[in-house]
Amino acid sequence: MERSNYNGLLSIKDVNKEVTLLGWVAKKRNLGSLVFIDLRDTTGIVQVTVRDDVKIPDIRNEYVIQVKGTVAKKDVPNKALKTGEIEVVAKEIKVINKAETTPMIIDDNTDALEDTRLKYRYLDLRRPIMQSRLKTRAKIVKAVHEYLDEHNFLEVETPILTLSTPEGARDYLVPSRLHRGCFYALPQSPQVYKQLLMIGGIERYYQIAKCFRDEDLRADRQPDFTQIDIETSFLDQDELLTLNEGLLHKIFKDVINYDIKLPLRRMSYAEAVDTYGSDKPDTRFDMKLIDVKDILKDSTFNAFKELSTIKCIVVHGIANSTSRKVIDNLQLEAKKFSLKGYTVLKFINNKLDGSFTKFLDENVSKSLIDKLKLVNDDIVIIAGSNEYRDVCFGLGALRVSYANTLGLIKPNTYDLLWVVDFPLFEKSKETGGITSSHHPFTRPLESDVKYLDSDPLKVKAGAYDIVINGYEAGGGSLRIYDQDMQRKIFKLLGLSDEDIKRKFGFFIDAFNYGTPPHAGIAYGLERLTMVLSGTNNIRDVIAFPKNLAAVCPMSNSPREVDQDQLDELGLIIKKENK
Ligand code: ASP
């Protein structure tokens, strides 16, 4: 179709050029002798001006039209448009297709509810902001292909109809028609396959991989999502992280022209939890957790003498009355983050204030003020418990919540770090036994193998996460490559010989034929895109996402299927639960 230029790319350099444009009518204003049309295409919007000597067909919003005309400099530039210095004076306008009145406003500032946007996603996608997010996503993928190709990685696809992969979520199952009663599982990640590719001698693998996890959805989770999946042979942890830092540097540079400083900081899991109350610390602001047990054990508050952990955070500049609301909210917030046993002190006119001060004599007060380096208008939130993790994670969540409420995070700043030395196992709340913190193929640190039998929860793993602005943007590990060790870990996780054989027999067998030491990582493509396009809603960076109920309001999936299909698969649906 005839088109000379893209609308959003026209500029002052094109003045006097004859152009033929295509696009959608974003807006039409009729001023009698002049009609203005905002013409939108995938690159942006340009204003078309139609004088009364040009025949104008009946056009309405979202009609698809072709415009022939001349680019002219505008007397008064429109600062709101990238192309605002110019306009296109129309000579001829042709309607290519009509449109009904749309059920939502197609503009970056739409007031449509999210479910309406998802139901009419093809209209929502016309909004420039949505296109820009998809472009960010595509640029990330392009940078990944370029970088990994330059570093001798081979892109390999792995099956979607596959077997259960243990990433800790529920599987999506697909019934087999040919093998009644048997099911494929959709991959939670290509984990098993990428390790088999290493055994297969590929050495450097990557894939932009679709993953499927049936778990409760959140602002940063979808049932089907995409990983940048990487596996390498013969690299140690340092080599692998350095290679990945190069990748991250290229992504940030190519996509948002931001230079990240290398090497990235590496922080142990233990330090992250202790000082930031999180295994994915947002380090763009300070407000660290400070241990005050050594001071408060001397208060006259008896409970504090017995508690093993007493920590606090200091929030600056909010003790004055204008921010009372923020303090009042604390109660609610603390409850939400299951922070039991906390108290608040204010520092006003160089004095500690609050009911808790009755337990603090002058010395204790002074030590506290000195240690916390308090300045006027600070508030101190102190939490204590015998459960170390509850105090850390509770205060950590409050820390982030305060930073957001008080606007402590500068926009367009990025902070990246590796969190390393994760525990190999964690206590399972459901079974009381242990589960893998990462997945069961993660190698224990050499130095900690000796604790595997006596104190498994103490064992640290060769596992690492890349954390960007408080998001876990990716994670991976050194893998076990010794058959006996793999068997031992399965056993510690409570799998019987029979289970191991049934679920992972082929995998364990493969280890017998010369398995190279290997390690890998996977990035959440959506989370990276969220960070780089400044949204905290994962659905904004997926063309056709599902809502929080795991439903696609556009296609209405999941749906019931025809009886014939069920019969063919040999399935009977029980309507009631269990
Ligand atoms: N498969 C892992 C995950 O999805 C990543 C990895 O260990 O490479 O989290």
pLDDT-based confidence at 456, cuts 50/70/90? Answer: very high
DSSP state of 47: E
Q: What's the mean per-residue pLDDT of the chain?
A: 93
**Minimum CA distance residue for ligand 1 atom 1:** 191
Mean pLDDT of 131-139: 97
pLDDT-based confidence at 432, cuts 50/70/90? Answer: confident
Q: Quickly list DSSP for 494-530.
A: T--HHHHHHHHHHHHHHGGGTPPPEEEEEEEHHHHHH
Atom of ligand 1 nearest to the CA of 190: 1
Report the pLDDT value the prediction gives residue 557, as an integer from 0 to 100. 95
**332/505 Cα distance (integer angstroms):** 50
What does the pLDDT look like over 275-293, one tens digit per residue?
Answer: 999 999 999 999 999 999 9
Q: Which of 439, 467, 518 maximizes ligand 1 atoms within 8 Å of its Cβ, making it the mutation to test the pocket?
A: 439
**CATH architecture under which domain 130-215+226-268+416-542 falls:** 2-Layer Sandwich (3.30)
Q: Residue 537 C-alpha to ligand 1 middle, in angstroms?
A: 22
Q: Residue 441 C-alpha to ligand 1 middle, in angstroms?
A: 10
Q: Residue 498 C-alpha to ligand 1 middle, in angstroms?
A: 25
The token duo for 309 is 């952990």
189 lines ligand 1 (CB under 6 A): yes
Report the pLDDT value the prediction gives residue 528, as an integer from 0 to 100. 97
Report the pLDDT value the prediction gives residue 491, as an integer from 0 to 100. 93
Q: Tell me which of 301-305, 446-450, 535-539, 561-565 is least confident.
A: 301-305
The token duo for 538 is 């994962």
Mean pLDDT of 466-477: 96
Atom of ligand 1 nearest to the CA of 463: 7
3.90.10.10, 3.30.1360.30, 3.30.930.10, 3.40.50.1100: which CATH number matches 285-406? 3.30.1360.30
DSSP state of 423: B
462 lines ligand 1 (CB under 6 A): no
**292/309 Cα distance (integer angstroms):** 8
Mean pLDDT of 176-186: 95
What does the pLDDT look like over 196-218, one tens digit per residue?
Answer: 999 999 999 999 999 999 988 88
191 lines ligand 1 (CB under 6 A): yes
Report the pLDDT value the prediction gives residue 306, as an integer from 0 to 100. 83
> Where in the chain are the domains?
7-97, 130-215+226-268+416-542, 285-406
Q: Residue 282 C-alpha to ligand 1 middle, in angstroms?
A: 22
Report the pLDDT value the prediction gives residue 149, as an integer from 0 to 100. 98
**CA contacts within 13 A on the Cβ side of 4:** 12
What does the pLDDT look like over 348-377, one tens digit per residue?
Answer: 988 998 888 888 888 989 999 999 999 998
**Minimum CA distance residue for ligand 1 atom 8:** 521
| Structural contact between residues 308 and 283, judged by C-beta atoms closer than 8 angstroms | no
**345/364 Cα distance (integer angstroms):** 13
Q: Which fold has domain 7-97?
A: OB fold (Dihydrolipoamide Acetyltransferase, E2P) (2.40.50)
477 lines ligand 1 (CB under 6 A): yes
Q: Residue 551 C-alpha to ligand 1 middle, in angstroms?
A: 26
pLDDT-based confidence at 310, cuts 50/70/90? Answer: very high
